[in-house]
Amino acid sequence: MSSTKGLEGVVATQSAISSIIDDQLTYAGYRIDDLAENSSFEEVIYLLWNQKLPTESELKVLKTQLREEMALPEAVIAHLRSYDLSTVHPMAALRTAVSLLGLYDSEADEMSEDANKRKAVRLQARMATIVAAFSRIREGKDPVQPKDNLSFAANLLYMLNGEEPKGIEIEAINKALVLHADHELNASTFTARVCVATLSDMYSGVTAAISALKGPLHGGANERVMKMLTEIGEEENAVPYIQERLERKEKIMGMGHRVYRNGDPRAKHLKKMSKELTELTGQPKWYNMSVKIEEYIKKEKGLPANVDFYSASVYHSLGIDHDLFTPIFAVSRVSGWIAHILEQYANNRLIRPRAEYTGPQTQDYISIEKRS
């Protein structure tokens, strides 16, 4: 029995949710390019959960359900207010708040298909509200209630900023949500499936997934990209900064990807939005700097940008705090986590791999008084 480090290349399950084949990402067979350019995030949620695009009436029902379930229990709001907001990271707050949500859901441990679908809607809707409420509470402001006439993407920005967003801002966040919604068997999705394969509840599965996403090797790349851009400061500093980092053999975040060899197909969509938004906000340097870094890394290392690289300047241009980048990722990715959780429940087998033992072989037990 031999092992593969990091399970790279190991096929662990069968899934009809998304695929990465020949550097092309699809959701239920639909190309990510088509979805990013044409679909709303609500359509993608429905697609991932049902493996088909919704009709107009089906989409209307889902949009209504999501808006109706966005309100948080008062106890969760009170809990967010109790955090030490000067030190707690938003991902830790999100992880704890989602776990807490399960205590206030009478169906949390009800495992019927209908109950799980209702919980899916609640979790999808309330993740956005948690992130927005946490952001406002730590700014000393009251949480903002969603509006019935706004889309999911528009409500997310509205609840964060307290102002209805512009068309291009809605387009940008909608694209980001669509592009991050699912990505086959990534670390957080696999964590969610392992968790619920024990027949644990959906809240446990999503909490486990958030815990995996919290790690900087998975969900924190865009936050670290923006930190790098901020350190660089001006366009003329970009290439010298990267040269110095490479000479010290330091990793450049947002470059390359474990499963793509010829480039992340999602990156180009956010690159376009980055250009438009940074021009709109009068700070084109963030986009120009990013392009210079991408071109240099591609020339020196053969690594193109991944989806996290340009999402950094997109989120920054939307006025989103840098430490909220990964929680926003989670607001999108929960749609995929839930899809995988539902799929795991539908055809479950406990996930229990083996380990290749590398320790000492059989040893004789020595009584404690004879040990040296």
Q: Catalytic residues, which ones?
A: 257, 308
Cα–Cα distance list, 305 to 297, 312, 353 (Å): 9, 12, 33
Q: For residue 30, give the 3-state DSSP assignment.
A: strand
CA atoms within 13 A on the CB side of 16: 10
Map tokens 């699912």 to a residue.
Answer: 182
Contacts of 119 (CB under 8 A, 6+ apart): 105, 107, 108, 202, 203
Distance of CA 95 to the CA centre of its chain: 13
Dist. CA 353–CA 69, nearest whole Å: 37
> What is the rounded CA–CA span in Å between residue 351 and residue 52?
27
Cα–Cα distance measured from residue 317 to residue 314, given in angstroms and rounded to the nearest whole number: 5
Gap between the Cα atoms of 125 and 131, Å rounded: 11
**Can you spell out the DSSP letters for 159-200?**
HHHSSPPPHHHHHHHHHHHHHHS--SS-HHHHHHHHHHTTT-
